[in-house]
Structure 1
Amino acid sequence: MGKSFQKKVKQSFFLYALIPALTVLILFSLFTAFLLRLGVVNHNRDANRIVAGRLETIFDAYTGELERLVQNPAVTVYLENGTGETQLYEILYGFNAEREVKCIFYILDDRGIPLISNAWAGYWNKNDTSGFVSFAEKMGRAPQSSVHGIRLRGYQEGQVSLFSFGRAVIQGGRPAGYIVLETLSPGWSAVSADTQAAKTIVTDSFDNVIFTTDELVRDSRGKFNPETDNELFEMNGSQYHMVSSVLPGYGIRVYTISSFITSQTTITQHLLFFLVSCVLIFFVTFRLAGSMSRQNTKSLAKLMEAIREFQRGNLEYKVVLDSDDEFYLLAQEYNHMVQELALLLEKNREVSDLQRVTEIAQLEEQFNPHFIFNVLEMLKYMIYMGTDTETVAGTITRLAGILRYTINRDSPEVRLGDDIVYLEDYLALQKARLDERLEYTVSIEGEIRSCRIPKFIAQPFVENSIKYAYATKEKLTIGLAFKKIGDTLYIYIRDNGEGMTPEKEREIKTIVETSRPGSVHIGIYNVHRRLQLLYGRDYGVAITSAPGVGTEIRITLPYNEQ
């Protein structure tokens, strides 16, 4: 055992402590990364919904204003005779002042030539009709509804996108002129200013970019056409999330694109935190594992050393533990047992002149340190394998009960019920050690537990069944039966071992009947001899065996409750 077992306990504790901690850290990191990416996705979807909603509100406002303007008498009068220009300017400027996204307004004649506008003087020319003729033709083809479209035009130092809203003014069943409201795309910046999208792009149905917060997304033709329909894509070596939506009735598509760079930076920081945490957990767990292994194996090591001293014949060795667990109880029971055993040996020496008493005492006092050693080895294995505390404590309690029962010298006879409890504890410990290869049953007929019997009368035969029958069977079954017939108590020990040949059975019966001890079958002889010394030759042990079937031991003794 020693250091090797301590090392195994240390390794087990280290693994059992480290694996859950690392699992929690890994799950936490993965969950955090998932939440960060999910946050980018959700924020981008919200941004797209906000931008699209704001644009739709702006477009609806311009469309509604066109509906009101074409029905305004001031417009009709101006187109008929050119009067009322001041009033018309007041109406158009008043509408424009209320808009967050401003516009340039035009009144066109029936040929599409601008008559009045609020545009900068150098921005338009009354004699230049190239910019409006095609748009006027479009309005003329749908005189009862508003039309819209995109135009590119030079404006001060650069080229901007103009998104135009137009409507024909009908007089006498035909267009008498047109009203055009043009919004400049730079004025749309406020639409996406307070969203969390990294890029906002607005295109028409032909992918022409009307507005963008990042001019790099335009291709050489001024278009934006993403190569994938997936929400996740790469652009310029970085990962992005893209959401698109269409404004119904306007043919406008709104894209919002958010970068994962920020979330990836946060994930990297979490990864560094995870690695540092792993190192700290590894170091702390390693130190704790060493301390725990030394603490948990200290008591067991002392008990093992006591067993070795006992095997050497040293009855003065005492186990001293400062713990308050089951090992302390086991140590106390062991010390008490050795002390009682030493006293008994001394007493036996004092009464050596009483041969019959001495013989009975010697036969009764059989203590098998190998059984205790095997159980302690089993306990060591259970602790190493991480068996639950309740099972280990139950095993220790059963062993303590066996030791206590062994050293109890109050009377040479005990209650049958007490001896049955001892046998059940003994078989339970063997069952724990041999697992599925051992099964046992205990049958008690009638209220006979108060019967007085010699102590350990059936134990040697149970031990022999395990020792000899177990070696030849994949699964050993032992049955114990206790019953009373008349004034006689019968105890049966049956096993399903290989049994004995007739020659072997006769040999053992000869040893039992002639009361000659044999080196191999000393246990059978001792029990039979003991019963005959106590109760006479009418009682003792009978053996029945059949090759390939098993062996039955029958013990008979007088039924006595006194």
Structure 2
Amino acid sequence: MKENMSLKKMYREKLSRSLLLFAIIPTILVTVLFFQLFFSIGNYFSNQDLIKRNKELSNFLTKEITSYKEDMQILQANPSLPTVFQSDDLHTQVYTELYQIVTNHRLKSKFYIVNVDGDILLTNSYKNNAIQIYHKKYLSSLNLKQKEDITIYKEKDNEQLDYAFLKLTTPIYQGNEVKGFIIFDLQSTYLKRFFEESNYTDIVITDPFGYQLFTSKKSLILNNGKMRAFTKKEYSVVSTDIVNEELRVHTIRYMGLFNKLYIIGFLGLLVISAILIMITRLFANHAAKRKTKSIDTILSTISDVNEGTYKGYKELEENDELEYINYYLNEMIQYRDSLLSENKEILIRKTEAEIKELQMQFNPHFLFNTLENIKFMIRLNPSSAEKLLLMLSSILRYSINNTEQDSPLKHDLLYIKDYLEIQKYRFEERLDYSIDLPLELEDCLIPKLITQPLVENAIKYGIDEVSELTINIKVSRTKKSLLFIIADTGIGFSEERLQEIRSLLKTSNNHSNHIGIYNVHRRIQLKYGNSYGVRIFSLQDNGSLLLIKLPIREEAEF
């Protein structure tokens, strides 16, 4: 039996597993497979229907255009046809032949016989000035000496030409001279039945470069006249090249609704499956509830221990063999709590002792250096002895007061200011400093004497290496942290020494001579945790910068 597995949970898992394995899961799988199969078949037949309609339209256009071209070749070969440009006698006969050609085709057209200047001699269309001007403009773009029997012209301005989407043109020769042209404007009216009779299918006919000749829906065409690109997820597209790849037939079906129905249906199945599983779990819980109260009480005790809310011994409602387990479990919990309490107290006392030891290391070293400075200043300028002694008295009073472990920022920085003033008397113009403390941060609490060793180190290791040493102390804050920046213009550290100090700050034991920086860093981390401490930045011959990160506190911790 698995650890911490209750009898109720075993019953619930067994019942759930049985129902899921032999009833719910097979039902869900069959339903999902049927659902997937249904939509796959639907998608397959939809694609087949789209292919079929594309084939029907492609075959129809190929047959009609080929038939038109054959009829035009027969007309072109008629030796009497050029005489229509010289006499009106053949107009009726030629008109009848042209009209018969149009009548024999399901794809209707407007026919024209025009001379080389674009003047219309015969037509079955309404003849007006606009049509006349158009044909003159159109013929001016043709090569009058062309050798092609029939030219297919892709008509793009179809709405201006009675919905003609394609123009078939063949020259009329007299000898080797072009006398005029036979023109058939194929109309789009008949094409509409291909999409009107088909649900959810659109048609686009383009040239090989994708420019529209005919479309059943304007939204399928871009502003530049090209058919827009379609994503496979939303549209099914079948394309076929016809008439020697001069035309391309596209049948398009929007699949977005189909895909949405698929997604909605699949999500519905997931919801139903989740409901069935929940019902199974509830049924298993109900079936196991009355027989497992004793074990539930034991599990509740274990859960309380894990969550830290254990309140003591809970007697079982049923006086059975599980009472022995319950009793010894509570005995074990109480013994464990006793051990944890003792270990926690030992750890706290050990940490406090280490902090005290670290803090006490500051005072002898600081006092020795300060007395040396005062001794030097008394000899240099006896008139300042009283002022220096007052500063020393203030410093000593502050440093030896062990009643408080924390101090407001303004007090600690006042201590630093007195210290720097004493040092400034000694080194005169060779030492300068600045302290920037925002007014709103003056009452923030920090560990007492936390910055003094770092300032002392800056002077001790920097003043003899440079002609002038400046120490800048700046305090700022982020949302949750208080930041000290102590920057000096000393000689700095080499890259090797800098990495050595950074490695030292990551250890819990110090066996080096870097007592000041390490002690400050260690003291902060013992008190506040590893998220806080000291970081050091330096470039050789360009000074150093120490960044101290502390939590923001305005009330003393107890």
- Tell me the TM-score normalised to structure 1 length: 0.44
